[in-house]
Structure 1
Amino acid sequence: MSGLFAGLGIEGPVVAAPMAGGASTPALVGAAARAGALGFLAAGYRTAEDLAAQVRAVREGGAAAFGVNVFAPNPVPIEAGELRRYAERLRPEGEPYGLDLGLAAPVDDDDHWGAKLELLLRDPVPVVSFTFGLPPGDAVALLRRQGVLVLQTVTTVAEARAADEAGVDGLVVQAAAAGAHSGTFTPEVWPREVPLPQLLGEVASAVRLPLVGAGGVGTADDVAAALGAGAEAVMVGTALLRADESGASAVHKAALAERSTVDTILTRAFSGRPARAIRNGFVERHHEAAPVGYPAVHHLTTPLRRAAAAAGDADRVHLWAGTGFPHARARPAGEVLSGLAAKA
């Protein structure tokens, strides 16, 4: 493959996206590598020690080319009273599991940013991508000096220009149709919902960086359309959630299969920043009332979501999914990636 990933030994144009929270596993990254594709580990919600163990597992599995995605610090503060009001609203949701969300202490953190950056500088991986905002300071320059290919997730032309000025090697252009969290730099504003090919065209007209398209990709035709709009590669996540190597929970995988006629929605109900999920009871009850506030809202709802997932309660767990989720199938990841690249 020429262009952005030249020299990495990548054969196909489809990239396995990072999916924080457990879906992205070393096994999934390894399967992508065996299929001639680039796979990403998700550093989000992991400690640096956990991430180091996953990187080690990928290398021991034989994958030479792979990436790591890191949440760049971009906190959205929430007033303490507003968080308490939302916690009180959610109190009945936790009662079946013996959780009193109304007593939860506010938590704000940077997702172990410093320790993860230190790890990636000390033990570089081939590709690092950033999401939620631009990395602070000289992080991009330091990584590139170590020979790391640095990508930045963007959702608008303005973000693309800012990333270009920061000196990254390429952009992951994420449309609002993407599942899970939007990479928007401004989570207080709902992402503009335009088709991925249109967004790629707008970004390509504004910057000269190589582009990777992402968001709502579920078929080989979707991949071909993104490539035709100027992307050098196409990143897919939701399409891999039901794959054999995916670490998604059983309740999440089942919902993807069983709720194929249900809409997805961008909501802040689970985390305080926009994320696309299948509509379920929790979304219906709290979408309109959900405040802006990340990571405080994320930490507030995490115990509930874990308990619900363990109990198989699809009505109280985040069912992250892009608009192409009805095309997700239970099969080996290599077959999914090869099928998506069939018309490239």
Structure 2
Amino acid sequence: MSDTSARLSLPFILPSQSQKHVTHNEALQILDAVTQLVLESSLADPPASPAEGAAYAIATGATGAWAGQDGKIAAWQDSAWTFLAPQAGWLACLRSTGKVMLYGTNGWQDLPLPSIVSVSQLGVGATPDSTNRFSISSPASLFNNAGGDHQLKINKAAAGNTASLLFQSGWSGRAEMGLAGSDSFAIKVSPDGGTWLTALSVTGAGQITQPNKPAARAQLSASTLAITNGLATGFDNLALTQGGVALSGSIAGGGQALAVPVEGLYAVSLSIAGTSASSYAASLVSDAGTELLKLAPGTVSAFDSNRMVLAKLSAGTLLSVKHSGTATLGASGRTVALDVFLL
């Protein structure tokens, strides 16, 4: 029979041994050092004033009283160092970090997570809460494939619920994409986190709508209108409008200018109908004086003219109609109509 135990090398009290208490106390000292093991830190140089019972993981290149003891545990007991060889599978709390460490072939390592784990909350560089049960604070996040495809799945309970990605600025929402309150895919934006506008919506059948894309039909609704040379007119009715297109200001010959809300490439169509004209022409112009298109019926007894062009317009551009020659407008209930929509 060996004189020491198999795992911790605790000395046994022999049958004929004198001063049995010495052997017993030595075994207790070993147990006191390794039971509920706490390591102050990992060092290569012995601390100058260790506390009684303090234990350290001896790093590579140990010096002084620890020389030649690399990889062992140094425990300060009764004003002297006791050295213990850790065994694979030992656990210790590293006081300097608060982590539980596992001893193995590569020395002391962080305790690995199980292959399958279920937790109520998890934070990575961040603090989770009851709503954000998984929180991460990082310059970037990577979701990589495992040899092929990769899908990020966001599921909701019912059609009226939300499954979406929300983009914030200063913790205030600015854009959202996903299934927000319906089963149609939508992209929404907000200027302030409170008011939300749908930029694009796609139904389950694949139909796409853009309910806030600038578009309008503006009309000058007089039944007849006598045109004199140099007269300028606007519009007094928006038969259709969306996306912020509006009437603005007043035009001397009647109506208001049509205001474009955002810069972009627009399809612009002007239609004018009349019962007579003499050397008559009409130009769609911007408030900067740029002629966008021109209709020139000339001298006729009746006319119904229209033309469409593409035009690059700036935000806030005002559109009106400038007339030359003379004419009487009004036919089939129409005088002047302007269609604009952002491409």
| Fold agreement, TM-score > 0.5 | no
The structure carrying a bigger helix percent of its residues is 1
Tell me which structure has the larger Cα radius of gyration. 2
Smaller-chain TM-score bracket: under 0.3
TM-score by length of 1: 0.16
TM-score by length of 2: 0.16
The structure carrying a bigger strand percent of its residues is 2
